[in-house]
Structure 1
Amino acid sequence: MSALWIALFFIYYKIIQSNSNSLKLLGIVALAARIIFLFAIPNLSQDFYRFIWDGRMLLEGLNPYLSLPETWVTEGTIPVAQGKELYEGMGELNGSHYTNYPPISQFCYLIASVFAGKSILGSAIVLRILIILADIGVFFYGRKLLNSLRLPEHRIFWYLLNPFVIIELTGNLHFEGVMIFFIIWSLYLLQKGLWYWSAMVLALAVSVKLVPLLFLPLVFQKFIVGSHQLSLTQRFLKLFSFYVIVLLTTLLLFAPFLSKEFIANFSQTIGLWFQNFEFNASIYYIIRWIGFQTVGWNIIETAGKILPLVIIGLLLLLTFFRKNSSTVAVITVMMIGISCYYFLSTTVHPWYIAVPLSLCIFTKYKFPIGWSFIIILSYTAYIDPNFKENLWFITAEYLVVFSIFIYEICRNTQRISLKSIYS
């Protein structure tokens, strides 16, 4: 597996290096690589079974946020086609928690159920087609954004041809690809000055996965410092309007599902990611070790409450103490911000890295590409029958990632300093 992974990344590098002037060829290869997976059932993730379950619940007119698959199975009143197979596929852990997938994701799952309501393979094919269409959108708007920023258009293929992206998103059906499409579309609209449409599209990204909410404070300087032609009052009004549009659009998309039960269930499931689950973490694992040495038990519940506050503090520092007035600077700080969020998270599934990877192609930073390669070490947990992580491999992974990250931070900071001295 490791030899094959290395070979795939070598081929990925050589294809782009040798054909950077032939976008058509690179596009055909990227599409062909995705079509290979079209009729495959994912074997590295169980999540798609839950996607199909949620979609079929909606098709039956039931709110997927208000009940547990486990409850339906236990009571013997399964309301969806192939419910037993779907529950066994998603596993007891997934089936015993409320769904946490936002409404645009749920809409995609519903589409799969409409077109393939009685076939798991058919549903997987429809979901995969939606993700491939999103990647085509990334190609379209990513090229436009690169061109607008006067960057080489072939850079988009450092994302689209990355073996990690093809396997984790297209192959394993993770909807980060759809979220990334909306993020890049939103950034393109922001670059073109269409901030109101940018806000609406960013809300669509939030409604696929909640992660883009972290980006909201990071656009502050783009509106306040970057709009010289407006008065300060007008700039703040524009920024405030941007935030209002994002939040109101998101709220409208959630509106069909809103209830007290939904809020309780959804917030409970989100909280689990911070206070219960652990996987492929970096800084948190050091904190956990310190906890065991000092108090003698796992302090995840306490750390899970404190770390989000640390993340908010870091985002605010990046917002106000870094020059982020240009679009490239905004994208750079988004990439650094989301990476810091994952560095401090208790759970970092491999497919999460697709977000900083997609953003780095518009910046001078390349460490997410290295991360996408080395993150294969996290899958060593599957070697153990009891799904046990090998912390030596996790340590090796993050030593590589942090080394490249720190090197690039120092290098790019030095370049900025030299420019300011000689300008």
Structure 2
Amino acid sequence: MVSSAWRGWLAAFAFLASVTALVILSRSTNPSIGFYVAAMSIGSAAVALSLWKSPAITARTVMLVAVAAHGLALFGETRFEDDFYRFIWDGWRVLETGTPYGVAPLDFYDNLAVPPAMQQVLEWINYPELPTIYGPVLQGLFAITTLFSGADPLGLRILFGGATLLISALLLRRFSPEKVALFAWSPMVVAESTLHLHPDILLSLTLVAALYWGRRHPVMGGALLGLAAGVKLVALAAWPVLLRLPPKAMIAAIVALLALYSVFAVQGQGVGFETTATFASDWYFNAVTYELLDAAFGPEFGRLAALGIAGVLVLWAHAIAHDFERVPLGFVFGAILLFAPTVNPWYLVWILPFAVGRREVTPYVASVVLPLSYFTGFNLDDLNLADFDVHPYALVAERLLLAAAIGYDIFRAWQRSPAAQKPKLCPISEPKVSVIIPALNEETSIGKTVQGILKAAPTGLSQVIVADNGSSDDTAQLAREAGASVVYEPERGYGAACLTGLSAVSPDANIILFMDADLSDVPEEAASLLEPIISGEAEMVIGSRALGQVEKGAMTTPQRLGNWLAPALVRMIWRMRYTDLGPFRAVRRSSLDALAMADRDFGWTIEMQVRAAKLDMRVVERPVSYRRRIGQSKISGTIRGVLAAGTKILYVIAREAFGDFGAADRRKARPSDAAKTKDVTISA
């Protein structure tokens, strides 16, 4: 078996040999596209296989080998690609007129004012009938490189190679060297940055930097994400990460992007959006799955369907992330490319930096197979293929290998062994249960509810608290007469009442039981909710009406729909299976404090369940009965209440999934609202 150290050196040799072969071939008079693609693909495969089992490599070795490879690439020539002529032309136009937008290169063909060197560049620009599409950040950088190197692409090589090395350096601050080497030593990364001169590496640089500095410096993180969108608008797919930072990060991103475009917009020749629209609606190349949607829905609706599917996957990827630094941007951009009508091989540099530290094989298989897209009619000189048609055999190989890799990663994720068993909870030897009953104008039922739970006398019952939510009837008086303590919360809201009730809980209470005041819950079933907590089986127990018996007419159709939709979303995002949002529930006191409950109205129950899922608490459900309530419901009894509750529940799920502008982090730094000392009026 090859030792760990030798595998590292083998990867370095394969990397440098591949880059050397690419440089030599690029300088040949008539290089073979077959040998050229083989150098990229075989080199990428050899590097990935050598590094996959984490050989021993130092950070210095990673950087020295990467610098050597990019240094070699500076002596290469750009073959089989001609986009860089547009970059040089755009840079010259910025220097001459202040903007490259609005006028197509074709309009300059007979312009004698164009210098001879730029006339030669002009002859090689692809799609000369279209104005430029590239973003304002790139235009500024193109101007700088053109200023110093003119029509020579050396300035671009240094810029893109330097960006790749900076990414590697930033990744080494977060990940081990052997993991970073999978990116830094990728022949395809060198080929598509320093050799082929594609600016997409600058998109990756700004995104990696944003993730690195964003948590500590939110304004800088936001500004970097604004710069990323100024490189390519596809970076907007990463912007939901800003919801996990304070609001100033989002403001910085918006201001930065608007400022970048404003520099060119004020000149009155546009900012390239017209060509962007042409690209989005008409261009097609090397698609992975888009053909299926095109066949099913036609070109126009096929693109909309692709955008919709990719959009859902992007949002899901952001939602399942646990925190700012772990948002899977590789999956985000991978989902976009999977359904995009145009998939150029250099787009893979959007993904590879964010594959570092993960164990999915798909990005590395893609680095092996996407070079096959260079087998076009033009590069093969095949008269049977259009210039930009990929050879059918290459397309089949790409799709089959990518499908196999994606399937393998999905299978591994599905079969991944569960996390180590959490330490068993200690049973509660002396349970002390406080019951909290929020109530608003429930005089017809509150007495029977309190008497019912006192008569049921579940194990450990020590306190019944009715949180009067500003009742205008005799709710408070009847609750006291029935044997409950009453606390007052004038601010309307189910969550507000529950929080006030919690502030009145006895200090020695170790279990909290919540139930409604309208006799819809069956007090005798409280024991079944408390038993799993007392025994140490669970931290929270939800009384599930979906698993129990619901009296006819007790739940409306909107309630049933909401009780299906919200748990389904929670399961998709946090992999916690719930069947109900029922209010009848019991929670271990210490676990409830850890949830830092804050919602003050309809979002209380879903907030509790989502945060329990995010903290990976032990939650079980027990079937409970549900009776027709006495009196009219404040929520399901009115259309306004139904809409307000439904909207709030979806909002809470979205807030907990995508972030709440850093509020979650601020909550972690202070005691929960439930644990705070609060002045309340209690009457017994």
TM-score range, shorter chain: 0.7 to 0.9
- Tell me the residue number matched to 2:144: 111
Give the match's secondary structure for 1:155.
Answer: helix
Paired-residue identity, %: 22
Shift of 1:60: 1.0
2:252 pairs with one of 231, 238, 245: 245
Taking only aligned residues, the RMSD between alpha carbons, in angstroms, comes to 2.5
- Tell me the residue number matched to 2:92: 56
Q: Retained in 2: the 8 A contact 1:134–1:177?
A: yes
TM-score by length of 1: 0.82
Q: Retained in 2: the 8 A contact 1:282–1:343?
A: yes
Q: Retained in 2: the 8 A contact 1:187–1:198?
A: yes
Higher RCO by CA contacts (8 Å cutoff, separation 6 or greater): 1
Query: Partners in 2 of 1:10 and 1:87 — Cα distance?
Result: 37
Once the two structures are superposed, the pairs formed by residues 128-147 of structure 1 within 5 Å of their partners are 128-146=157-175
Give the match's secondary structure for 2:280.
Answer: helix
In the alignment, is residue 286 of structure 1 matched against residue 281 of structure 2? Answer: no
- Tell me the residue number matched to 2:306: 307
Query: Partners in 2 of 1:49 and 1:300 — Cα distance?
Result: 31
TM-score by length of 2: 0.52
- Tell me the residue number matched to 2:181: 157
Structure 1 letter corresponding to 2:147: V
Give the match's secondary structure for 1:90.
Answer: coil
In the alignment, is residue 370 of structure 1 matched against residue 377 of structure 2? Answer: no
Q: Retained in 1: the 8 A contact 2:45–2:368?
A: no
In the alignment, is residue 102 of structure 1 matched against residue 125 of structure 2? Answer: no
2:125 pairs with one of 70, 75, 90: 90
- Tell me the residue number matched to 1:399: 400
- Higher percent of residues as helix: 1
Give the match's secondary structure for 1:280.
Answer: coil
In the alignment, is residue 170 of structure 1 matched against residue 194 of structure 2? Answer: yes
Query: Partners in 2 of 1:135 and 1:260 — Cα distance?
Result: 33
Give the match's secondary structure for 2:216.
Answer: coil
Shift of 1:258: 0.9
- Tell me the residue number matched to 1:276: 282
Query: Partners in 2 of 1:284 and 1:68 — Cα distance?
Result: 30
Q: Which has the larger radius of gyration?
A: 2
Structure 2 letter corresponding to 1:335: G
- Tell me the residue number matched to 1:326: 323
Structure 2 letter corresponding to 1:116: S
- Tell me the residue number matched to 2:63: 27
Give the match's secondary structure for 1:51.
Answer: helix
Query: Partners in 2 of 1:172 and 1:379 — Cα distance?
Result: 12
1:353 pairs with one of 345, 348, 357: 348
After superposition, the Cα gap between the structure-2 partners of 1:154 and 1:420, relative to the gap in structure 1 and judged at 3 Å, is: closer
Shift of 1:111: 1.2
Shift of 1:36: 1.5
- Higher percent of residues as strand: 2
Q: Tell me how many residue pairs correspond in the alignment.
A: 381
Q: Retained in 2: the 8 A contact 1:30–1:160?
A: yes
Q: What does the per-residue CA deviation read over 1:206-246, in whole Å, with 9 as the maximum and x for residues that have no partner? A: 222222110112554x45xxxxxxxxxxxxxx2x4322211
Query: Partners in 2 of 1:280 and 1:20 — Cα distance?
Result: 37
Shift of 1:422: 5.8
Query: Partners in 2 of 1:308 and 1:26 — Cα distance?
Result: 38
In the alignment, is residue 255 of structure 1 matched against residue 284 of structure 2? Answer: no
2:224 pairs with one of 195, 201, 209: 201
After superposition, the Cα gap between the structure-2 partners of 1:76 and 1:282, relative to the gap in structure 1 and judged at 3 Å, is: same
Q: What does the per-residue CA deviation read over 1:180-229, in whole Å, with 9 as the maximum and x for residues that have no partner? A: 12111111113x43222111122222222222110112554x45xxxxxx
Q: Retained in 2: the 8 A contact 1:273–1:346?
A: no
Q: Which runs of 5+ in 1 are unaligned?
A: 147-151, 224-237, 292-298
Shift of 1:168: 1.3
- Tell me the residue number matched to 1:229: none
Shift of 1:252: 0.8
